[in-house]
């Protein structure tokens, strides 16, 4: 197989980050990459199309020990969920031309092993491909698992999903309290929700974005509500539940195609704009799911 050396633009993490991330914590670099599969290797060569900006990525910018995610490596490209096209494959489950989503690099081309990077083949292409970074990918599955598997919703129950955008105020829209809380924020938000939960409420703990940039986390003061209201609070990681992904797609794709689910994206064009898009998440600059388009195809 002839060696094909290509120019590969990358977003590099310069150093571990403290406090809020800044664009200057990352740099845009040109490197070369050999787009070949070494003899006997099962790697897959990807051309990255869309990259996902997700809040959990902030914690990977810190030096982590014993966490459920690994730190990024300073001097190396940032990694995250993305949609890509298979250019070459040493893995018999994937073929040239396949579209996949999974963990990839913030760069034009990535070489991964499909199992380690948890690549899912994209079968339905009659939806925007970028959706597989969000509603049809990891974030969508996370919502599905947290809501259906962890919270067991019943008809008529009130559901509150927190977001980083200072939504404590929105709790006032639940005059009769909250049955199900999908926790993404932590800290003061959790405290405010706890006093507004209803008897036998359920809290799926997915993330605590308000705490990721703090050197010392805020304390949560109202946990006694767990007792008085018999609340169940459960943390989960979507990666434990991917066996449910086909079931999820079967449910959600018709909803999207039928127009029952409206999905909003905020797409930054060009890899060079990825640092700004990621940083913007922590200032609530995005409207809709933040995606970076590296290449249309």
Given the rule CB under 8 A, which residues bind a copy of itself? 67-68, 186, 190, 205-208, 211, 216-237, 240
Distance CA 237, CA 268 (A): 27
Comparison of 153 and 177: residue with beta carbon closer to a copy of itself? 177
Beta carbon of residue 240, minimum distance to a copy of itself (angstroms, whole number) = 7
Beta carbon of residue 293, minimum distance to a copy of itself (angstroms, whole number) = 30
Beta carbon of residue 208, minimum distance to a copy of itself (angstroms, whole number) = 5
The helix or strand, by DSSP H or E, that contains position 140, with its residue range, turns out to be helix 138-144
Radius of gyration, alpha carbons of the chain: 20
Retrieve residue 97's tokens.
């031309």
Comparison of 13 and 190: residue with beta carbon closer to a copy of itself? 190
Beta carbon of residue 27, minimum distance to a copy of itself (angstroms, whole number) = 29
Residue 223: CB atoms within 10 A of its CB come to: 13
The count of residues in the chain is: 297
Comparison of 23 and 218: residue with beta carbon closer to a copy of itself? 218
Per-residue burial over 43-81, b = 16 or more CB atoms within 10 Å of its CB, e = otherwise:
bbbbbbbbbbbbbbbbbbbbeeeeeeeeebeeeebbbbb
Beta carbon of residue 127, minimum distance to a copy of itself (angstroms, whole number) = 29
Beta carbon of residue 245, minimum distance to a copy of itself (angstroms, whole number) = 18
Retrieve residue 166's tokens.
């200072």
Comparison of 20 and 68: residue with beta carbon closer to a copy of itself? 68
Distance CA 129, CA 142 (A): 18
Distance CA 132, CA 50 (A): 9
Comparison of 19 and 219: residue with beta carbon closer to a copy of itself? 219
Residue carrying the six token digits 């700004």: 276
Comparison of 35 and 195: residue with beta carbon closer to a copy of itself? 195
Check residue 177 and report its DSSP letter. Answer: -
Distance CA 113, CA 1 (A): 19
Beta carbon of residue 236, minimum distance to a copy of itself (angstroms, whole number) = 6
Q: List, in sequence order, every residue forming a beta bridge with 205; answer none if it has no partner.
A: 183, 235
Comparison of 129 and 203: residue with beta carbon closer to a copy of itself? 203
**Concatenated DSSP letters for 98-116?**
-EEEEEEESBSEEEEETTT
């Amino acid at each position: 197989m002839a060696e094909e050396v290509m120019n590969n633009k990358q977003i590099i993490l310069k150093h571990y980050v403290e406090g809020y991330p800044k664009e200057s914590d990352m740099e845009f670099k040109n490197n070369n990459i050999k787009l070949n599969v070494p003899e006997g290797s099962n790697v897959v060569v990807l051309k990255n199309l869309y990259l996902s900006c997700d809040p959990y990525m902030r914690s990977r910018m810190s030096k982590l020990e014993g966490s459920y995610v690994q730190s990024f490596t300073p001097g190396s490209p940032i990694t995250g969920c993305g949609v890509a096209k298979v250019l070459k494959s040493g893995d018999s489950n994937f073929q040239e031309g396949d579209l996949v989503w999974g963990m990839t690099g913030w760069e034009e081309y990535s070489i991964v092993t499909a199992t380690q990077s948890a690549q899912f083949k994209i079968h339905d292409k009659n939806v925007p491909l970028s959706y597989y970074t969000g509603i049809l990918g990891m974030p969508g599955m996370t919502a599905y698992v947290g809501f259906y598997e962890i919270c067991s919703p019943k008809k008529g129950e009130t559901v509150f999903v927190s977001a980083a955008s200072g939504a404590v105020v929105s709790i006032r829209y639940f005059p009769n309290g909250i049955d199900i809380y999908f926790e993404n924020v932590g800290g003061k938000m959790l405290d405010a929700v706890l006093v507004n939960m209803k008897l036998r409420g359920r809290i799926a703990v997915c993330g605590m974005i308000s705490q990721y940039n703090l050197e010392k986390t805020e304390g949560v003061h109202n946990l006694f509500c767990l007792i008085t209201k018999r609340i169940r609070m459960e943390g989960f990681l979507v990666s434990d539940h991917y066996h449910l992904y086909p079931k999820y797609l079967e449910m959600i794709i018709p909803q999207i195609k039928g127009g029952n689910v409206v999905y909003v994206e905020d797409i930054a064009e060009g890899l060079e704009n990825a640092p700004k898009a990621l940083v913007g998440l922590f200032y609530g600059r995005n409207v809709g799911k933040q995606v970076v388009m590296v290449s249309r195809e």
